[in-house]
A and B are shown apart, each in its own frame.
Chain A
């Protein structure tokens, strides 16, 4: 009974050993496979990252190009607005916009549509006529420019108007050569 018992034990041990051996062999294989998979994943990830980075670089490049274009466009609009001038002139006792003035305002409108800044329109008159009526006339001129800008698509809240009447002349002296310089709206 003892030998049979021992035999049984040995057999059990062998079986165990075989089992363990079989187990350990499986684990190694799995480990290797997992490692390979991980390496592949890493490689894929790296490739993907590389691709993403490349894409990012491309996008950034494109964005930079677009920005540069926008900057260029804005610079062009600013140049156009500055070439159009920031002072619009009017006839005596009139707030009508001449074709030249409309063209000049158009340049400013294009610039305003391209950015988000606000403007202040200051209306002025020459010294003829009464001061208080001239305050109203200066406002009418500033409003005429504002209304034209709004009609061209600029939101009204981005435009502030103020009239100084005849208080802030740019040219002193009495005579049409001075007066025509003072009948104006300044955009600021």
Chain B
């Protein structure tokens, strides 16, 4: 098959605030605005951002738990965002989700075995024996003993419950697993167990992950590529090493600088970024980050910066750090990886690479 496994194009979700029988225009929450990315088989794409940035809405849109206002979600080239219920049903097998809260995402009245075999039973009838074998197999895959299948969720620990959530997602052999803050509710030592499990599963089964998290340590550990979201938009999408080595967007930089590092010898030089995330009901004009941005210029207050491809295969939406030049068709190509030709064209003009390196000093090097 050609093209990426999962491709998201211009995905947008507006939530109307209240019903508008008596009003002419209803205010909307712009939860997700024009988000595009792609995920290859066996790859991990992380979406990071703070609360209200729309990362969880992206997950829900991908799973079609909510219908998008605009945009397309393509799996192997088929648009699932536009599918009717019945056609959607069969596509559900390709993409599964792991939830944040290991307590509320499992039905407290069902046993572990019932929980993890339920998705399969939505598609085919299982005999008692088959169901038993499937449950045992899935439990073994996630490192639990098959005897656990008769337990209720309340009789399991947080880590075991999250393993059940993963087993449930695995039961349909999906090609993509969307993990929405899947380890955030867990203790550090359990978190390590679950992250290792996810890495192992990816290696064995070639599953692609869309991993949504606010924890940069976790993201850096597992991501191949990282998309940074701010107020509904992707502001930077880059290969993981490149992003953490030299963040280009000032928000990415602030985010990385703000994350606490378990090293008491490190002295924090820079002051944390001021202000708070504005409301998505009434986002700032122009670049949504400009009220908090130390680099903001006049243009940031007027125009929304487009995602501009950079030399090292990343895209950045910033007027200052990544000024757009008029490359034809650039905006359309800006989603996902910019094609190699475009990247070649880009290098050497516009924003010189050396300048990026100088301006964006690595925060931890700065601290040492």
A and B: real partners? no
Which residues from chain A sit less than 8 Å from chain B, CB to CB?
A: none
